[in-house]
Structure 1
Amino acid sequence: MPRTGLQAQRTEQRREQRQALRERILQVSREIVKREGFASLSMRKLAEAIDYSPAALYLHFRSRDEIARALRTEGHARLREAFLAHSTIVDPAARLNAMARAYVEFGLAEPETYRLMFMMFMEPAAFADAGAEATASGHAAESGAAALSLIADAFVELRAADRLPPRAAPLACAEGLWANLHGIVALKLNGASLPETPVATLVELSLDAWFAPVNGTESRFTCANRPDTSTR
Structure 2
Amino acid sequence: MGIKERKIKHKEDLKQSILDAAKKLFQEDGYQATSIRKIAAEIEFSPTTIYLYYKDKQEIAHALHEEGFKILSDRFRLLANIDSPFERLKAMGRIYIQFALENRDYYDIMFVMKDPIQHICEGPQEEEWTEGATAFFALVETIKSCQEEGYFKAYDPETLSLLVWSTMHGLCTLKLDGRMDMVVSHKQILTDVPDVLQHTFSIYIKMLERL
Q: State the TM bucket, normalised to the shorter chain.
A: 0.7 to 0.9
CA contact (8 A) 2:62 2:119 kept: no
**Cα–Cα, structure 1 residues 84 and 68, in superposed 2: closer, same or farther, change >3 Å?**
same
CA distance in 2, matches of 1:36, 1:82: 29
Q: Does 1:150 align with 2:138?
A: yes
CA distance in 2, matches of 1:150, 1:167: 20
CA distance in 1, matches of 2:205, 2:146: 13
Q: Is there any run of 5+ residues in structure 1 with no aligned partner, and where?
A: 1-8, 214-232
Which of 10, 17, 23 is the equivalent residue of 1:30? 23
Cα offset, 1:78, TM superposition:
0.9
Residue 41 (structure 2) aligns with: 48
CA distance in 2, matches of 1:110, 1:12: 32
Q: Does 1:75 align with 2:68?
A: yes
CA distance in 1, matches of 2:123, 2:26: 27
Residue 218 (structure 1) aligns with: none
CA contact (8 A) 1:33 1:113 kept: no
CA distance in 1, matches of 2:10, 2:27: 26
Cα offset, 1:87, TM superposition:
2.3
Q: What SS is found at the alignment partner of 1:144?
A: helix
Cα offset, 1:212, TM superposition:
2.8
- Structure with the bigger percentage of helix: 2
Residue 99 (structure 1) aligns with: 92
Cα offset, 1:10, TM superposition:
6.7
Which of 124, 127, 134 is the equivalent residue of 1:128? 124
Q: Deviations over 1:8-59 (max 9, x none)?
A: x877665544333222211222333355543453211211121211111111
CA distance in 2, matches of 1:83, 1:172: 20
Residue 178 (structure 2) aligns with: 191
Number of corresponding residues: 196
Q: Deviations over 1:200-223 (max 9, x none)?
A: 12222222222336xxxxxxxxxx
In the superposition, the TM-score normalised over structure 2's length comes to: 0.81
CA distance in 2, matches of 1:127, 1:102: 31
Q: What SS is found at the alignment partner of 1:172?
A: helix
Q: Is there any run of 5+ residues in structure 2 with no aligned partner, and where?
A: 191-195
CA distance in 1, matches of 2:203, 2:142: 18
Q: Which has the higher contact order (CA 8 A, sep 6+)?
A: 1
Which of 123, 126, 150 is the equivalent residue of 1:162? 150
RMSD in angstroms over aligned alpha carbons? Answer: 2.5
CA distance in 1, matches of 2:123, 2:136: 26
